[in-house]
Structure 1
Amino acid sequence: MRKKYLVLPAVLILAAAVVTTVSLWPTELKKQRRQNLCLGMLTERTAGLLQDGKGGTVMADEFVPDGAEATGTSADPVFSTICFVNRENAEDKSGDGLRLQYTLDVSSSSTPSEAPKGATTLENGRTGWVGQRQSEVQLPAGCASKMRRPDEPYVTVTLKVSPVAIAGRDWDYASLMKDSRTVILEAVGNLAEQYGCAT
């Protein structure tokens, strides 16, 4: 066999080695998704801040609605997963007695949503708002292309507080909004780090 015919197999072997190395190389995305909750967005400590005050172990359930994966344009589950953060009832050992504290999800769009009445607009380089029941914060501008969403430049993390958490805190909205702010800003910061688009 002539040497010029050996070039193609050598190139293919090299390409396979590069792909294998890249897929095994520890990335920030893989590291955070292994260590943290909600697709790597929240540490367990921060996840437990926004709660109803009744105790119980923090449990996060990453849920993909029926058909969400089929309609998604990316294999990355971040755009098709809703993270439910619950507290386990201490007296119920079966795992069925969970109290929903809040949900966290990520979406992309061509325009950001307006802040509702009573929401606090964020400053210091962050775009979005924190409200009494819901908060929305956009990832930095460069994240959409890194997340394969160049046609939808606004990637938003949405936090929805459960009525259980609101009632459990005696409708103390100032305290809830403080904790909501901490939770959503950590989620946005960690997600931006995963994709290498943090500012």
Structure 2
Amino acid sequence: MNRKYLVLPAVLLAAAAVVTAIQLWPSPLKDLRARNLCLGMLTEKTAGLLSDGMGGRVTVDEHKTGKSGADPVFSTTCFFIRVPEKATEGPLQYTLAVRPANTLNNPAKGATGLPDGRSGWVGPRQSEVQVPAGCPKRMKAGTEYVTVSLEVAPGVVVAENWDDAALVAASRTVVLEAVDHLAKQYDCEA
């Protein structure tokens, strides 16, 4: 057999091995997404902080929209749902989404700002917090900002007896953990 015919298959085999190694190589993005809920943004413990208090467990439905091949963090909305014992579905607790933006929304009524130089606001029913300034470029967002938004379902508000301070505290923990985990995934921590 002529050796010149073996060069191309050897090069193709080496290229395939490199591609496979890169895909299987551990990374913060892959690790957090495999270990946590909602594309790696929340731990199971934190995901259960906003609940209507009716028992059961919190599950996540990741609803994907948009183009395939694009980073799913921008085309996925996570619906956190309480599933009562011995049931298959339950009421919505809250939604979490990540969106690129060129402008920021005004704070919702009753919202408070964030400490430590973080950008965004947290309210009892809705919150929006921006990832650190270096993240949009690393995330290939094509915008100046990337915002993590949280919307709390009315059932959770009623369960907290309209205690805005409790809702804001739980919402702050949820949304800041989501932002921090995204920053770790994309290696753009503040």
* TM-score between the two structures when normalised by the length of structure 2: 0.90
Given that 2:83 and 2:91 are in contact with CA atoms closer than 8 Å, whether structure 1 keeps it comes out as yes
Which residue is 2:22 aligned to? 22
The Cα of 1:16 is off from its aligned counterpart by 2.8
Is the aligned partner of 1:69 residue 2:69?
A: no
| Counterpart among 157, 168, 176 of residue 185 in structure 1 | 176
Which residue is 2:135 aligned to? 143
Given that 2:112 and 2:121 are in contact with CA atoms closer than 8 Å, whether structure 1 keeps it comes out as yes
| RMSD between aligned residues | 1.9
The Cα of 1:122 is off from its aligned counterpart by 0.8
> Relative to structure 1, is the Cα distance of residues 110 and 6 closer, same or farther in structure 2, using a 3 angstrom cutoff?
farther
Which residue is 2:164 aligned to? 173
| Counterpart among 99, 102, 120 of residue 128 in structure 1 | 120
The Cα of 1:89 is off from its aligned counterpart by 1.8
Q: What do residues 44-81 of structure 1 show as CA deviations (whole Å, max 9, x unaligned)?
A: 000001111222111111112xxx323x7x52211111
Given that 1:36 and 1:43 are in contact with CA atoms closer than 8 Å, whether structure 2 keeps it comes out as yes
Given that 1:89 and 1:99 are in contact with CA atoms closer than 8 Å, whether structure 2 keeps it comes out as no
Q: Which runs of 5+ in 1 are unaligned?
A: none
**How far apart, CA to CA, are the structure 2 residues paired with 1:142 and 1:124?**
16
- What amino acid does structure 1 have at the position aligned with 2:80? V
Q: Report % sequence identity.
A: 57
Which residue is 2:39 aligned to? 39
Which residue is 2:60 aligned to? 60
Q: Name which of structure 1's ranges 81-90 and 170-179 shifts more when overlaid on structure 2.
A: 81-90
- What amino acid does structure 1 have at the position aligned with 2:27? T
* TM-score between the two structures when normalised by the length of structure 1: 0.87
Count of residues paired in the alignment? 189
Q: Which runs of 5+ in 2 are unaligned?
A: none
**How far apart, CA to CA, are the structure 1 residues paired with 2:120 and 2:19?**
38
**How far apart, CA to CA, are the structure 1 residues paired with 2:150 and 2:8?**
51
Secondary structure of the residue that 2:40 maps to in structure 1? coil
The Cα of 1:13 is off from its aligned counterpart by 4.0
Secondary structure of the residue that 2:62 maps to in structure 1? strand
Given that 2:53 and 2:159 are in contact with CA atoms closer than 8 Å, whether structure 1 keeps it comes out as yes
- What amino acid does structure 2 have at the position aligned with 1:194? Q
* Residues 149-160 of structure 1: pairs in structure 2 closer than 5 A: 149=141, 151-160=142-151
The Cα of 1:12 is off from its aligned counterpart by 4.4
Which residue is 1:114 aligned to? 106
**How far apart, CA to CA, are the structure 2 residues paired with 1:30 and 1:75?**
15
> Relative to structure 1, is the Cα distance of residues 118 and 10 closer, same or farther in structure 2, using a 3 angstrom cutoff?
same
The Cα of 1:11 is off from its aligned counterpart by 5.0
- What amino acid does structure 2 have at the position aligned with 1:99? P
The Cα of 1:133 is off from its aligned counterpart by 0.8
Is the aligned partner of 1:95 residue 2:88?
A: yes
Is the aligned partner of 1:50 residue 2:50?
A: yes
Q: What do residues 124-174 of structure 1 show as CA deviations (whole Å, max 9, x unaligned)?
A: 03110001210000011111122111x312001000000010011111111
